Amino acid sequence: MDLAFVKLSVRNIHDYPKPGINFKDVSSAYRDSEIFHFISTSIADNYLNLGITKVLGIESRGFILGGSLADRLGAGFVPIRKSGKLPAAVFSQSFDLEYGSDTLEIHQDALSSDDVVLIHDDILATGGTMGAAISLVRRFGISNIYVNAFIELDFLGGKESLDPAVPVWSLIHF
């Protein structure tokens, strides 16, 4: 198993969710147990010695690897959800996507200022979603934040739009 094989396992869906978008479907990689194990282990290994206390998974595909990463890192898991899905008091952050806009929320009691946070999502595209997640985490006064994506779409420049003080690492690049 290597990164080239994993990259080939990601399916392209043309014109989804709207014409002109070439959607990277990670479910084709996740359905194979050996590939899923390799992805999860490879990402977790990159963060093993950083003292991560919470992994934040962004709805919804960020939940899949996010839970696995939390388990492998001995950290708690915190969901970042779309608006209206969390039952207790929340912080909210609106943002623009490459094909629309959205709002993310996190419970106000989900983190403390001494947490070391890994924010995970399946894909880093334009950076809108990750940027909103970073803004939510900053509301807790947290200084140790890391960002991870299984896939980074380099041609969209999302990494460059994020806070340069936050380290970003992605397993696969397109």
Catalytically annotated residues: 61, 98
∠6-8-10 over CA atoms, to 5°? 80
Which strands, in side-by-side order, build the sheet including 116-124? 90-97, 100-107, 76-82, 54-58, 116-124, 144-152, 168-173
Q: Residue 14: how many CB atoms within 10 A of its CB?
A: 9
Give the span between the Cα atoms of 102 and 132, in whole angstroms. Answer: 10
Neighbouring C-alpha atoms within 13 Å toward the C-beta of 158: 27
- Containing H/E element for 93? strand 90-97
Helices (H) and strands (E) in the chain, counts: 5, 9
